[in-house]
Every structure is written in structure tokens, then in C-alpha cells.
Chain A
Amino acid sequence: MTSSSLNSDDPCFDGDGKWATKLLRECARAINDRDSSKIQHLLWMLNELASPYGDSQQKLASYFLQALFCKATQTGQRFYMNLKSASEKNQSFDSARKMILKFQEVSPWTTFGHVASNGAILEAFLEAGGEKNKKKKLHIIDISNNTSTFCTQWPTFLESLATKSSDHVETPQLKLTIVLVKESLKGSVMNEICQRMEKFARLMRVPFEINMINGVEHLWKVTKEELGIVVEEEDNDDDDEVFIAVNCVGGLRRVEEGERGNVIGILKSLSPRIVTIVEEESGGSDDSCITRNDDDDFVKCFEECLRFYKIYFEMLEESFPTISNEKLMLERECSRNILVDLGCNNNNNNDSDHNKRERGVEWSMRFREYFTPIGLSDDVVDDVRALLKRYNRSGWSLMLPSSKVEGIYLKWRDQPVLWASAWKP
């Protein structure tokens, strides 16, 4: 079969101009059906038309093409490892910092979860009983996707802690244990972050300690000993009481589906007084996104991915200026996530990075086995509202919990995109 030339008679150009969406869908279907000639044809077309610098359809094509290609050729795992090591090699504190700070400036995508979690943790901590003359100590175990967000949650937390605890006789002590699961940060980047956090804490006059645990392979296997200090604190009989909080922003969906229950159990065993969870609102409820060789599963998975990432790319497009290096970096990072979600076939791999996405409702069900939900207080909700107001784009809104759901949702153009909730044992 020869490579066909594109002509405007091609049905994919009909209608609403969403040619990439159509082509990608057809390609996913073809992969599912194992129609290799069709796959080849579609991949070729997509390759011709796609561009990471083009309009939203071109970008969509470009970033999904990668994943589909890998899925079709079953090279996802290897490709992902290459990309991962390449990105780690090229990781630079400065470029990463620039990217994430700019992102937070133009979009509340990450800060939504931070504000909600920080508010919940701080409130719970300050309200926690305890005698007045005992020193207050807070230990936060952060199991978030920090290779994307670089601990940017914590400076504002430090500032709030310093300000809001001014009624207390002493500023409480804060210890932060950052657990990096699967992904890891380059040593120098880790050092930079730790150093700067320490200095900033000094500036805020908060007694502070930070610990980074790099490259934990499997969260369900992590022990209290690995997390170190936790054990000592529990046995601590002296005057100081330690308030343990677990913060998990985007960290759970990286856990293999089968192990998620165990992981939540592990979290429970750390005896936290509060657990804050933030996850992207994506995934099917009963659809399985794990690609076994089942028919249609892949297509369903693909559809959901397409839906969600389309929103994400649109959001990036709207939030950033047209030409933006940071936007490009984020898009690339995102396409790596797409690769993980779609392109990695777990047929032969025991250690697949492929993760099924779950929505807030499903996470809630899992959490209910070990924890009780805490509603986010009015103050915290007001803080989140105030945050959204600060962003000029009016596409952002807040969805409050109804009787059926826990937590709060961030919506972009009326689509729920992020979910934040708090739990206690």
C-alpha cells in the first residue's frame, strides 16, 4: 500500500475542523482492531499534519501520536525509559522553577490543590487540642507529584503557618518529608529545593526541617523505617506531641491499580491526623483503562484520555501567551503522561508505569475503607474562591460537594478537572 496523499476529499476534514480528534480516534480503533495497514496510514497522516507548535488540533495530534505509535509498536516502555532518563539528565533547577512558577502565575491548576490542602492541614493542626505549654510540632509527609511541582506547595504554607500561629506563644515547628515515588529528582535539583526551603523557613522564622526521599520504587512497599523519623515520633514519650499530616497531590494515580488499597492502608498506618488528596478528575468509573487485550478497552481508555487532555491543552492555550517556552515544556511533560497512560502496554511488563485513572468518586470509595471524610471548612473554601478570583481567565469555577461526593472540584469551563478532599482516621 502506498502512502496516500492527503486531499480535501478525505472525510476527516469534514465538519467542525477537529481533524486531529477524528484521526486519533480512528487510529485508536485501528490499533484496537489490529488493522496494521490502517494504523500505518493513520499514523502517517497524523505525522504529516501534527506539530507541537501549531494550533490546538495540531498539538493534540502531535502529543497523542507519540503514544499511539508506541502502543502500536509496543515500544512504549522502552521509549518512556529513554525519555525519563533524558529528562532527568537535562533537568535543571532554573528551567524547572521557571516553568512551574509561570504556570502557577497563569493558571490555578496546581495552586487549587495546594490552597485547599494547605488550608485543611493548617486548620486541623491549629485546632488540634493539646496543652498550651507544649511545643507544637507538625510533620507533613508529602507524597505528591513533586517532579512536576517541585514543592511549590510549601512556601505559602510556611507563610500561613508563621502568620496564623502568631496567637500562639511560639511558632510551631514544621518537618517536611518529601517522598518521591518512581520518578526522581536529580540530586542537584533536590539540594537546591531543600536549601531554598530551609532558607525561606528561616526568613519566615519557622523552625523547619526538610527531608527528601528519592526514587521510592513502590509506595506500597515503603515502610515507616524508610520514611525514617515517623517511627521515632510515635514512640516519643516526652512533652512534644507531633501532629502528622499526609499530603498527596497527584501521587495516588501513579500507583498501580492493584496496589492502591494497600497504599491507602499504609497511609493509615502512619497514624496521620489528616490526609489531603488532590487528583485529576479523569478516568472511567467502570471502564477499565488497563489495556489487556480486551476489545474496546483501549478505545474507551483512549477516549477518556483524549477528553481530559484536550481540556488540559485548551487550558494551557488559553492561559499562556501564544508563544511561551513554559507552555511548551508543560505540553511536553504532559505528552509523556499521555504516553504512560496509553502507550505502555502491560502485557509483558510486570512493572508497568501504566496507571488507570480514577475519579474523585472512586478514590472516595477507596478512602472510606480506612478514613472518614472531613469537609473543607468555609474558610478554606473562601480561600480557594479568592484564589480563583485572582486569575483573569473567567473559565475557572468551584464546585462544592454535594451529598454524593466528598471534596471540592475545580472546573474549567464547566468541566470538573481537579478534585481535592481531606480525610481523617
Chain B
Amino acid sequence: MTTEPPPMPLSGEEAATLSALDLETAPQPPAPPLKKKRNLPGMPDPDAEVIALSPKTLLATNRFVCEICNKGFQRDQNLQLHRRGHNLPWKLRQRATKEVRKRVYVCPEPSCVHHNPSRALGDLTGIKKHFCRKHGEKKLKCERCSKKYAVQSDWKAHMKTCGTREYRCGCGTLFSRRDSFVTHRAFCDALAEESAKAQTLSTDDKDGVGAGVTAASSSSPPQPPLTPSTSVVSPTLSIQSSEIPENATRLSPPTTCVAKAVTTSTVLATVLASSAGAAAPSTTSFPNVTAATSLSLSVPLYLSNNVNDLRHHYTACPQPSTTAALSATALLQKAAQMGAASSNTSLLRGLGLATSSTGYHPQDESGIDNPIMQWNMSSHVKQENPSLADHNLGLGLPCGDPGFADVMMGSPPMTRDLLGLGIGGNGGDNVSRGGLSALLTSFGGNFDSSGDAGGVRHQ
């Protein structure tokens, strides 16, 4: 490790002059063509001064040191507060009068996308957290779900919501456990009828941490634009997505939700609404969808260009009649991919994989011709109400019971054989015919007459 100067007191006026000593490298930021008022994440102000701290310096907790007593502080404000107590002469008390240039920080990890000055982050705390999250060891673990975190604030935020989150499937069922939800989802009729529903993995909590965000935070820093949108939108969308496919009568609440979703004009909302709207047969409930379809994904936040390409990809994807299913999980999947790679090519490749992999059968979805799909649809229609109201009661008699008794009836030879054999085959002499037949008839009779007696089973 190269020798580096000890952390110097960084009171305001000295910061600019001393910053050069902190630098291991001092690259000047290239001037990006656009000057924006508000910087997009990872695209810093071109006039900003780029600071590259070593990992050690970055992670040092008490960067601000009092020059008088050498006490260290985590924050500059705290240091200033402390300095007042030293009764400094007024000259030294003042902070820097000249403007301090805005500072941006690069990640010390060479392979990281944020190592490049053009993708530096503007916030020291932000770069610290980023470094820990992506390149650090995850020492903190959630007890409930075993998720691991490197940054304590991430972990705490997760602990608040873990276990309180609820998942709602497209079919209307509510789950408190993610694993039950996932398994249910995979086999749910709602999935089979993708053409009729919006696919969402929505949350009901209002703590501001949506499913997509929380999961995304484990793999990449939460992107601010995504955070509020998910939390605001998801409850409403969960209602809309879960209820739309079921009955026409249920659609009145969702219409207000849709309006709300669109007016918040979050990309996530429009994404989900658009996939719902384009997909649902009952499109009348989504008047605003057509406007929304212009924004196909929340991912454009990460992908500066190529939104159109993505949209085309999606329309080429699964069903001809729907835009792609864009669940929060799918989005987090993309978000995770985006967080890792600086470009959009991985997503496109991922999509390319999805469309061109050997196992991929786009034909599956045009299911109307498929008799199994038809059967499935009709059975779903039958089960609509029971599945909503009685999902957990397991109502619905086991299928095929009437048929089953027939099968059992169909094997009376069993009874006859038993009568013929006698018990054990070789003890027959000692058994009185009357007793044996009585036993066997009563026993065999049980099997024949009711479908349920002693071990009749079906799956």
C-alpha cells in the first residue's frame, strides 16, 4: 500500500488546499456534454472536484479531527460544535469564506463502474455505503430471512419490514411469507392466464420500502427515483391487479386506483398499468393506459437510451397479446443486473437469452388452441369465487370422487377372491365360514360402498 498522509483536519477553509494530499490519483473530470441542474445518480457535475479516497480513508469513521485536542468526529457539524467549546479567537473561528467546490467521490475498487470519474457519486456517505455494499463483506444478517447486509442502515431498514410485508398474488390471495408466495405464484392459475392479468409482486406496507426496493437494495444501492414510486404505487396496484381478473363488479375500486397510479406518474406505475391494460380483456377500466404505454419500463432510469429497443423486446416476448410480465421481482432482477453492469447490454443479452434459449416456447402462450389451456381456463372460471373466498379452507371436494367409487365398485373380484382365499391360505380349516365371510363382507363392503373407508385414496 502506498504511503498516504494521515487524515488531515478538514475544516472548511483548509479542505480545498489539503484535498490534494488526500488524493492517490487526481483525475480531472472530463466535461460531459450536458449541464444539468440536478445531477442524475452517478453522473456528476462536470465542475466538481473529484476525490479518490483509499478504502482505509473512506471507511475511517472519524474523519473530522479537532486541531486543538485531536478529538475525532464523524461529522463536520459535530466538529464545529465542538470547536466552539475551545473559545477560539474570532479569526480562526470563521469557516472558509470562499466557495468550496462541489466534491464528488470515486469508488476505490478498480473494477467498479463508479471508479470512473464520470460516474462518481456526489455524496461521501453515499460512496461509503456503496463501497461497503458492493465490495465489502456482508457481516449483518437478518434473522428471519437470512438476508445479508454490509451497511448497517440497510440492515436496519430491512429488519423493520421483514416479516411485515405481505404479498398478493394475481389471483387475490394474500401471503405473509415470501416462499409460500413464490411457490403459489408459480403454479397459480393467475400465472397461466398471463394474458388477462397484470403480474405484480406488490406489497401492502406503507413504510416506504416496497418489495422491489428492498430486494434491489441488497444488490445495488437503492435508486431514489424507484423508491417512492414503489411504495406509493404498490398498494393501489396490488388491489387493481388482484381484483381485475375476477369479476366485473370488483372493478370500481381499481378505477380510482388507476387514476391515482397514473397521476403519480411514476414509471413503475405506468409499467404495471400498461402491462395490465394491454393484457386485460377488460381494458375499459384502464382509460389512461394508452398514454402510459409510452413509458415501458422503470429500467430506462438506468438505461439512458434503448428504451425503445427494450419495448420491442418486450412485445416480442412471451405472448403476442401482452407486454411482458413486469413484476417487481422481474424489475428487481433487472435492477440488480443494472447495478452490476454499467451498460444496458447485459439486460438485452438477458432478454436475448430469454427469447432464444432452447427451452423457450413462445407458442405456449397462444394457448387458445391448446386444449389444456382451455381446460385450465374453464376450470379457473369455475373456481373464481371459491378460490377467493375459501382459499384457505380447502373447499372443493376432491375431484373425481364419484368416479372413484365406481372404480372400487368395479373391482368386486377382490371381495370374491378374498372369500375364496381365506386368511393366510393355510389356516382355512380352522376358520368357520360364517365368521370369516362375515368379517370379509363387512370389511370388503366398506371398501365398496363408500369412497372414503379405510384407506381409499387418491391424489
Contacts and interface: CB of A to CB of B under 8 A. Distances in A.
A319 B145 CA distance: 22
A95 B357 CA distance: 32
Nearest to B371: A188
Contact of B354 (A98, A111, A202): A202
Interface in B404-450: 404, 407-408, 411, 414, 417-418, 421-428, 430-432, 434-436, 438-439, 442-443, 446
A357 to B, nearest CB: 19
Contacts of B392: 102
Contact of A94 (B383, B427, B439, B442): B383
Interface string A68-104: 0100111100110011011111111011111101101
A92 B219 contact: no
Interface string B115-157: 0000000000000000000000000010111101000000000
A78 B418 CA distance: 12
Nearest to A174: B359
Given A96-B459, A196-B191, A205-B333, A329 B398 contact: yes
A390 interface: yes
A197 B186 contact: yes
A94 B457 CA distance: 16
Interface string B309-351: 0000000011000000101011011101101110000100111
A79 B414 contact: yes
A397 interface: no
A115 B178 CA distance: 13
A332 B358 CA distance: 40
Q: Which of A97, A191, A193, A204 has the most CB of B within 10 A?
A: A204
Interface string A45-80: 001001011000000001101110100111100110
A74 B423 CA distance: 9
Contacts of A115: 179
Nearest to A158: B186
Contacts of B351: 205
A196 B182 CA distance: 12
A154 B182 CA distance: 10
B179 A156 contact: yes
A329 B458 contact: yes
Contacts of A6: none
A196 B186 contact: yes
Given A89-B403, A105-B180, A195 B372 contact: yes
A62 B330 CA distance: 48
Contact of A390 (B177, B191, B317, B408): B177
A422 interface: no
A34 interface: yes
B168 interface: no
A329 B459 contact: yes
A332 B457 contact: yes
Contact of A36 (B397, B403, B423, B459): B423
B134 to A, nearest CB: 9
B192 A90 contact: no
A89 B372 contact: no
Nearest to A74: B425
B354 A205 contact: yes
A210 interface: yes
Interface in A318-342: 324-326, 328-329, 332-333, 335-336, 339
A83 B457 contact: yes
A207 B333 CA distance: 13
Contacts of B424: 34, 36, 39, 72-73
Nearest to A115: B179
Interface string A307-324: 000000000000000001
Between B351, B359, B379, the greatest number of chain A beta carbons within 10 A of the residue's beta carbon is seen for B359
Interface stretch (A275-283, A358-366, A378-386): A378-386
A391 to B, nearest CB: 10
A169 B111 CA distance: 13
Contacts of A382: 141, 146
A349 interface: no
Given A78-B414, A166-B337, A155 B403 contact: no
Interface in A26-56: 34-37, 39-40, 43-44, 47, 50, 52-53
Contacts of A63: 454-455
B185 interface: yes
Contacts of A191: 372
Contact of A62 (B184, B325, B383, B455): B455
Nearest to A72: B423
A192 interface: yes
Given A92-B400, A163-B333, A101 B414 contact: no
Contacts of A383: 146
Given A52-B452, A87-B459, A166 B359 contact: no
A198 B403 CA distance: 32
A78 B417 CA distance: 11
Contact of B423 (A39, A171, A209, A386): A39
A37 B346 CA distance: 76
B333 A171 contact: yes
Interface string A149-188: 0101011101100110011111101010000000000001
Contact of A37 (B383, B403, B430): B430
B427 A34 contact: yes
B199 interface: yes
B211 to A, nearest CB: 12
A243 B438 CA distance: 62
A40 B432 CA distance: 11
B92 to A, nearest CB: 49
Nearest to B403: A90
Contacts of B346: 169-170
Contact of B333 (A73, A154, A166, A389): A166
Contacts of B215: 163
Nearest to A92: B399
Contacts of A2: 432, 434-435
Contact of A336 (B340, B361, B422, B457): B457
Contacts of B436: 40
Contacts of A170: 346, 349-350, 353
Given A86-B404, A324-B394, A329-B398, A386 B144 contact: yes
B408 A86 contact: yes
Contact of B396 (A62, A98, A193): A98
A209 B361 CA distance: 9
Contacts of B454: 47, 50, 52, 62-63, 65-66
A169 B347 CA distance: 9
A386 B359 contact: no
B453 interface: yes
B392 to A, nearest CB: 8
Nearest to B376: A192
A128 interface: no
B49 interface: no
A199 B459 contact: no
B431 A36 contact: yes
A69 B455 CA distance: 11
Chain A CB count within 10 A is highest, among B187, B191, B341, B428, for: B187
B426 A34 contact: yes
A172 to B, nearest CB: 10
7 contacts: A2-B435, A36-B422, A65-B454, A104-B183, A188-B375, A207-B357, A379-B146
User: What 10 A-B pairs are tightest by C-beta distance, nearest first?
Assistant: A209-B359, A166-B336, A332-B457, A36-B427, A155-B186, A90-B400, A66-B455, A207-B357, A200-B186, A335-B455
Given A40-B435, A44-B442, A154-B186, 14 more contacts: A52-B453, A62-B453, A72-B423, A92-B399, A111-B179, A156-B183, A158-B186, A168-B340, A169-B341, A195-B364, A201-B359, A209-B357, A324-B394, A390-B179
